[in-house]
Structure formats: C-alpha cells, structure tokens
Amino acid sequence: MLADSLLPFRQTAWILALIMQGWLLTAGCAPSSQATTPHGTDIVIFIDFSASVQGKDRALLKQDLVTQIIPSLSAGDRIVIAPINDKTLTDFYPLVEATLPPKPQFNGWMDNVMKHARLVKENDTQVDSLKETVRTQVADIFAKRFSSQYTDIFSSLIIAQKLFHNESRRKVLVLMSDMVEDHPPYRFDKMSWTTATNQKLLSELDAKGLIPDLSGVCVYVSGASAESAELAGNIGQFWQAYFQRTKADMDPSRYAHVLLHWPPSKSCQL
C-alpha cells in the first residue's frame, strides 16, 4: 500500500528530472556552442590601386563598396579591406578591419524578454555605428589616392588563405581589380595566350606554391577589364581555371566589371 501511495510522487519526480535535464541542455550546452561558433560572414576585400585602375574604374569600385557591400553588413560579420600591390607578402597591412558584434541570442529558460529586446536594440546601434565608421574609412582610402607600381594578385590570394585560416564564419573574397597580373615574371598584358598557356602557367604557379587552398570560399571579382575583348576573355578563362584549382566557389557570373549578384546567395559556398 505504501508503494502505491508513493507512486504519484515518483511520477512527479521523474517528470521534474526530465524537465531539469532539458533545462540543463538548453541553458548549459546551447549558449556554449553559440559562444564558440561565431555567426556571420567573413568578408575579405582586396583593392587594386595600380596605375591600370584609375578614374572612372576606381570610382566604380568605391561605388560597389559604399552602395552594396557596406550596407549588407550585419551583426557578427567581419570585414577586412587591403590593397593589392607589389609588397603584399612582405608588407601586408589592412586598410580597414572591423568586426561587428554578434546578435544577442535569446534563451527562453534564462533570459528576460524586455532585457533581451534592449540588448538587441543596443546591438543594432553598435552595428550601425561601425558600418558608418567603415564607410568613412573607405572614403578616406579613395581620397588618399594609394598607388602601386605592380598588380600582384597571386600574393594577395596567398594572404587571403591566411586570413581565412580556421575561420568558422562564412567566407567571402572580393577582388576589386582589372585582374591583369603584371608583377614580374608574369605580365598578362604582354603574354601570348594560346590553348596551352593556362596549363603551363598553372603548373608553374603550383610549383612555386602560388595556388592557395580556398576551399569553402565564395569569390567575387569586380573591375575586370583589359585593353581588348580578346585579352579580357583570355585572362578571364585563366582565372576561372585558377580558382578551380584553389577549390574556391567562383561562378563566371560573379566575374565582371562591376559587382554582380551581391549579397552572396546561401548556395555560394562549398
């Protein structure tokens, strides 16, 4: 009889134990995983300040940054802007670097609704302030008229691999350049392009360690151009083959004279 009388209490205790177990999983494990795994996008942008990108073309690059990329930034994103020049490997430095604070996560077991709403509003204010700071820094960059003797895109891509290393955010690389590599010994505008050129060039670059691993990186090119349509086509085909070797996600539709298909779709990553 005693056992029967205790049955309701045992059932209640069992139910409470399950509830507590679920609470511990929610309150203990979930926030921990959120804290160790940043949400957002890691955007690395390299800008070509060589003599071949001037005037109207440079203004278009600035326009892509100010009207498309910066407005698309959101909580948890990181943006790094650096120059493409002839000293990328030996003297790399970012012109702009900013990490937007992640959006506060709501835990129904632990968080007060009103307090969470206040934290979200404060976060939005911080994000907007940082975006405005980035916009001002970009304006300063183009006002200072940086210049470089050569366009060393290959070295910039090696640096991009290092910047993306162990990055848990979504990875996006934007190259703002005419894509005419002219850093010795490679002068794309002086080369004789044949059906064998791409394979020969890729083999040389591979032997020199100039083909980085960009697995999982979504690539955009804005500013692509050349002295003739034929040369632009040959250079574009080379870069398509090159990015295929790097294992990056480089769709031909994202290789253009201006920034197209921004922001990246959810499928733009490997």
Average pLDDT value for the chain: 84
Query: Which of 216, 211, 184, 223 has its CA nearest to residue 61?
Result: 223
Give pLDDT tens digits for 76-132.
Answer: 999 999 999 877 778 888 999 999 999 877 666 666 667 767 777 888 999 999 999
Q: Give residue 236's pLDDT band: very low, low, confident or very high (50, 70, 90).
A: very high
Q: Give residue 263's pLDDT band: very low, low, confident or very high (50, 70, 90).
A: very high
Query: Which of 48, 103, 113, 47 has its CA nearest to residue 80?
Result: 47
Alpha-carbon gap, residue 128 to 88, rounded angstroms: 31
Q: What percent of the chain has pLDDT over 90?
A: 64
Give pLDDT tens digits for 46-72.
Answer: 999 887 777 888 899 999 999 999 999
Q: Quick check: 232 and 226 in contact, CB under 8 A? A: yes
3-state secondary structure 143-191: HHCCCECCCCHHHHHHHHHHHHCCCCCEEEEEEECCCCCCCCCCCCCCC
Give mean pLDDT, residues 171-188. 95
Q: Quick check: 26 and 152 in contact, CB under 8 A? A: no
Q: Give residue 14's pLDDT band: very low, low, confident or very high (50, 70, 90).
A: very low
Is the pLDDT at 137 greater than 50, yes or no? yes
Query: Which of 75, 50, 78 has its CA nearest to residue 168?
Result: 78
What pLDDT was estimated at residue 2? 41
| pTM exceeds 0.85, yes or no | no
Alpha-carbon gap, residue 184 to 182, rounded angstroms: 6
What pLDDT was estimated at residue 110? 61
What pLDDT was estimated at residue 19? 41
Alpha-carbon gap, residue 159 to 123, rounded angstroms: 31
Give mean pLDDT, residues 247-251. 96
Query: Which of 64, 68, 132, 138 has its CA nearest to residue 100?
Result: 132
Alpha-carbon gap, residue 142 to 150, rounded angstroms: 18
Torsion angle of C-alpha atoms 127, 128, 129, 134, degrees rounded to 10: 90
